[in-house]
Amino acid sequence: MKLTDLKPFTNEPFKDFTDPATTQSMLQALAEVRSQLGRTYNVYEGQNTFLSTNPANPSEVIGIHGASTEADAQTAVSTAQTASLTWSKTPVANRVQLLLRTAQLIRDRHFYFCAWLTLEVGKNYAEADADVGECIDFLEFYARQALHLDAATTPIQFPGERNLLRYVPLGPGAVIPPWNFPFAIMAGMTTAAIVTGNTVVLKPSPDAPTIAAKFVELLTEAGLPPGVVNLVQGGPEVGRAIVEHPQIRFIAFTGSKKVGLEIHERAAKVQPGQRFIKRTILELGGKDGIIVAADADIDSAVEGVAASAFGFNGQKCSACSRVIVEEPIYEAFLTKLTARVAAIQSGPPADNFYAGPVINPAAHKRVLDYIALGQTEGRLLTGGKAIDTKEHGYYIAPTVIADVAPTARLAQEEVFGPLLAVIRAKDFDDALTIANDTEYGLTGAIYSNSRTQLDRARNEFHVGNLYLNRKCTGAMVGAHPFGGFNLSGTDSKAGGPDYLTLFTQAKSVAEKISVASPQAEEQEQGLGL
């Protein structure tokens, strides 16, 4: 198989939920998934279990999962190591076909997987659709990128030699995805690893274990051999055991700065019997800012800020948590922003309310604590309280706090919830300084009608993903390779042209052609991914 055998990559189209037929398909999928709730996954006799529950209705059990032990982690790594011996030699075309078959299976069951996202992590219809669509995009994009990588050549052919450059797999690795994009990011990291010939120990978040279990079932259905992806479930203890294992060659992690830096530190320590330097592929948090310049279209900026800050209840690493507004339009912007956010309706994601719950009780308490802090650091404009429901879901009203100082905790610390800080800037220079004054550097945006200011932001706004006159969330695979600067991670650029190289190592082979054997050309073909 060659890259030219496939159609050019295009992003999966979004579903139109204003169409009654589309909404009916989603409702039917929710009914189907609800009939499957409470099932047991990978639980063995005598094993401890934990529950996955609906954050909108914590009494509703999504799935019962076996809690893996450190011994289970050791077994999973050994299984991955054994499977690596054959999977690494599987032709790249076979691995690509596996991704394409999996993508098609997801496409065929699009609403089914949307429904699992709605019930297990609280995504409304559009957010769930975007997650499933991005998952398909990752599989389709990485399939094509694997073929592109397999066709790599050296920049020149040295006279008198035949020069080859091949990207070979690293070996067994760990994939530790987050709960907030539990389908797209989990599947994207996993399939990037396996399409390049690696095997994986997959440890999903305890807040989204069922979706990961469903995806592993899907890989098996698509024809993935046993041992290539090994699912373990549980908390930090099993994660540490995997990260520190001397046969784990890489760790792909998306999550908080605190946990990511701990993984980076643990991975850096060479364990007894380890003969390589472990690679960490980290996408961490953000304190993402949007600059609203004095000449901006205020209505457009308000809409973009509200969508960036409160889409999926602010539970995105790319979410806007600071909006930096130039003084001449500060009060006018606040008036319109307050009205826009106050109009957001909260309710069950299964009923397609725009704002739903945060993920768990710990997140609920953390965000409320930050709201209390924020009211000592600024002026509450709207929200500021928990919302109780008969189901006792983890709801918090979308909250805006104005007049926050650039150095305040609310302007510096990642909250990961429906809470937005508004900061006043004297002028554009001041706004850029404030935007860059953070330990993070993931996403950012600017609203301005000045080409000079847009160009300055392009050069001086120090983030991995910058958006001009649009929201700072919603990165599209292929168009917006995603990953941040500073303590936002290793700028790994998921969905970009170089992402797969992070799961490989480049091997250069030079053969003197004056003594080349007749089999040289045939041997070349065996050196690819």
Amino acid identity for residue 441 in this structure: G
Amino acid identity for residue 58 in this structure: P
Query: What is the total residue count of the chain?
Result: 529
**Orientation angle between helical segments 110-121 and 125-150, nearest 10 degrees:** 120
Burial class (CB in 10 A: 0-12, 13-18, 19+), 16: exposed
Please count the other Cβ atoms lying within 10 Å of the Cβ belonging to residue 273.
8
From residue 12, how far is each of 106, 129, 142, 199 by CA, in Å? 11, 10, 14, 27
Residues with active-site annotation: 283, 317
Distance separating alpha carbons of residues 238 and 261, to the nearest angstrom: 17
Sheet holding 419-425, edge to edge: 379-382, 399-402, 419-425, 320-326, 288-292, 443-447, 465-468
Distance separating alpha carbons of residues 416 and 180, to the nearest angstrom: 10
Which of 87, 69, 74 minimizes the C-alpha distance to 247?
A: 74
C-beta separation of 9 from 144 below 8 A: yes
Element (H, E) at 307: helix 298-310
Please count the other Cβ atoms lying within 10 Å of the Cβ belonging to residue 339.
12
Which of 104, 12, 139, 141 minimizes the C-alpha distance to 478?
A: 141
Tell me which long-range contacts 493-500 makes (C-beta under 8 A, separation of at least 24).
493/464, 494/138, 494/185, 494/188, 494/189, 494/192, 494/283, 495/137, 495/138, 495/141, 495/188, 497/145, 497/148, 499/142, 499/145, 499/192, 500/142, 500/145, 500/146, 500/149, 500/167, 500/192, 500/195, 500/196
As given in the structure block, the two tokens for residue 411 are 């302007």
CA 317 to chain centre: 8
Distance separating alpha carbons of residues 173 and 184, to the nearest angstrom: 19
Complete DSSP assignment for 152-198: ---SS--TTEEEEEEEEE--EEEEE--SSSTTHHHHHHHHHHHHTT-
Please work out, in degrees rounded to the nearest 5, the angle formed at the alpha carbon of residue 193 by the alpha carbons of 189 and 197.
165
Biggest CA pair distance of the chain:
81
C-beta separation of 413 from 404 below 8 A: no
Distance separating alpha carbons of residues 81 and 247, to the nearest angstrom: 7
